[in-house]
Amino acid sequence: MYGSLRASEFVGVLAILVAGFALPFMLPEYFLYTGNMLMTYAVLAIGLDLLIGWSGQFAFAHIAFFGIGIYGTAILESRLGVPYLLSALASALIAGGAGLLIGFPAARLKTVYLALATYAFAECAQWVFRTWDPVTGGSDGLRFNPPVIFGYETGTDGAAFPVVAIILALVVTATLYLAKSKLGRHMCAIRDSEHVASASGIDVRGIKVATFAISAVFASIAGSAYTLFQSFINADVLGASQLVTVLTMVVIGGSSSIAGVLLGVVVVGFLPEILRAMPHSLLVWQEFIYGAILVAAIVFMPQGLWGLFRQRIAARPRRHDRSARESPAVRPVPETSP
């Protein structure tokens, strides 16, 4: 409930770090690129899940903050010579500020209106990235140098891999702590019932705004990770299809669960590889297949793959469940209707 990490969570974070340092010696460069992309997606998806899965806010501005992270880090680091970590921090602050800014009006909106308003914000942001020539390079895109962190050069996928893994491990750890904190529980309470949350003393609007800001910071961190193994950014990759990819990861894996989201990232992330390997490469159908999977997942497994897996475990009879069911003394209202 309250407090520190469980053993399994600690092992999970440790596994990410170990993989981060070991895999570059074991895998060819191409797989490391895919790995870097997946870890970046994981940070993005965890941040999006804070809004969608935890606080139940269907807000779709996430990719805009990802863009702020990429452009912010790239411009500060590559053009102005600010050290990488400072660039990443500054970008996170800018994204967090922008998150607060749209959080205030967005916290008053619900359902479709919230989705539309945040989606419109993301479209505006993409337009700014594409047209603000002197800063973002406009539609030509922006080329940037590989960051150097305390003398460590991250130019190749192999060199970037451990750093991206450290970023992912930090984000996962922070999210695990958040899940156990009062703030995390308040997010879930808002998702389940704003009335109950409010009547229990939770400032619903305040928590929503805070969630927007934290989620934006996570997206910006993902953007900073992206600059470690890429050398070029163009506004075209910051569009709606990117949002659909991340959203699919969250929904397929299982929202409001870190393990579920990570599972979704791996499953959806490898999908293009599988499609490519099919006879007559099905890769051109990628968007279509994502859409179909998304719809199927929502209809057939609303709790995602992880939810399905957990249900299987829960279906096995456990001892303390049975004892609760069998002791009649603790049932005060024996005649309840279903």
The contact set with other proteins (CB under 8 A) reads 1-4, 174, 177-178, 181-186, 188-189, 191-193, 195-204, 256, 324, 327, 330-338
Do the Cβ atoms of 175 and 45 come closer than 8 Å?
A: no
Whole-angstrom CA distances from 187 to 56, 81, 212 are 8, 38, 11
* Closest to other proteins by CB, 228 or 305: 305
* Closest to other proteins by CB, 4 or 8: 4
* Closest to other proteins by CB, 24 or 99: 99
* Closest to other proteins by CB, 34 or 310: 310
* Closest to other proteins by CB, 198 or 286: 198
Kindly state the smallest distance separating residue 310's Cβ from other proteins, in Å: 12
Kindly state the smallest distance separating residue 248's Cβ from other proteins, in Å: 22
CA 34 to chain centre: 17
Kindly state the smallest distance separating residue 24's Cβ from other proteins, in Å: 30
Kindly state the smallest distance separating residue 4's Cβ from other proteins, in Å: 8
Kindly state the smallest distance separating residue 61's Cβ from other proteins, in Å: 23
Cα 95 from Cα 90, distance rounded (Å): 9
- What residues contact 88, with CB distance under 8 A and at least 6 apart? 69, 73, 220, 221, 224
Pairing of strands 232-233, 142-143: antiparallel
Angle (CA) 185 170 122, round 5°: 70
Per DSSP, helices labelled H in 144-239 are 157-180, 182-192, 194-199, 204-229
